[in-house]
Amino acid sequence: MCRSVDQRRGFSVSFANIAMPAESAVPMHVAMIMDGNRRWAKERGESSVEGHRAGYETMKKVGDWCLARGVKVLTVYAFSTENWKRSETEVGFLMSLLEHALDKELNYFIDRKVRLRVLGRREGFSKKILELIDKAQDATKDFEEMTFAICLNYGGRAELVDAVREIAREGIAPNAIDEGTISKRLYWPDMPDPDLIIRTSGEERLSGFLLWGSAYSELYWIKKFWPALEESDIDAAFAEYASRQRRYGA
């Protein structure tokens, strides 16, 4: 059952109907920080626009690779709250690429029976993009092969701030607040926590990605830039994940 979008604070969905199997060699929820588009392009003497274009194609391939391996939730960090600070040209291209993806490639999700969800704040996007987001989410809401969650205008701190604001609006007494009170007011209230978080480009930090849900996530760093990612890199990450013993603080 999909929870309605709270227009005041951002894209928010329910994932209560996702059936998560027991611990498995395949991570059921994979989250990816798609880093290195601009550096990949610079190495080739190309513009950042070309890097983002190549990164977009890689994102689609990664979606197929994860789907083929039985991943149930794939979350990608596509555009952060800080990315608005980039050049007008770069932001403009990213918005046009987003509009194209939502408008022209909806069948990518429909053909694969993949549910699309968008997490983040709604402000800053054009009316056209917001309409396309709502249309795509509605068109794919009943699909269960995999959920593809895209973080747009997302920041881990922003998500927590928005949750606290909602708690304050509701007038909940301080002594009545627990972890559940907060988690139910995040952009992804019923979504399973990520089992594995992968970041490309050699950087080894989360950059505010899924701060609440990543408490016990396994982290895996890939030196390659995002557009250079290959299917074998996904297999290597999953093999490393399968070799680890997850203790959840015990």
Q: How far is CA 107 from CA 87, 116, 130, in A?
A: 31, 11, 18
Partnered with residue 80 across adjacent β-strands are: 154
Say if residues 239 and 218 touch (Cβ distance below 8 Å). Answer: no
Told to judge if 138 belongs to the known catalytic residues of this protein, a careful annotator would answer no
Q: How far apart are CA 17 and CA 1, in angstroms?
A: 6
Q: How far is CA 128 from CA 28, 53, 103, 112, 137, in A?
A: 33, 21, 10, 25, 14
Residue 206 burial by Cβ neighbours in a 10 Å radius (0-12, 13-18, 19+): middle
Assign residue 36 a region: left if phi > 0, alpha if psi is -120 to 50, beta otherwise?
A: left
Told to judge if 37 belongs to the known catalytic residues of this protein, a careful annotator would answer no
Of the candidates 83, 103, 134, 190, the residue annotated as catalytic is 83
Cβ contacts of 17 within 8 Å, gap of 6 or more: 1, 144
Residue positions annotated with a catalytic role: 35, 83
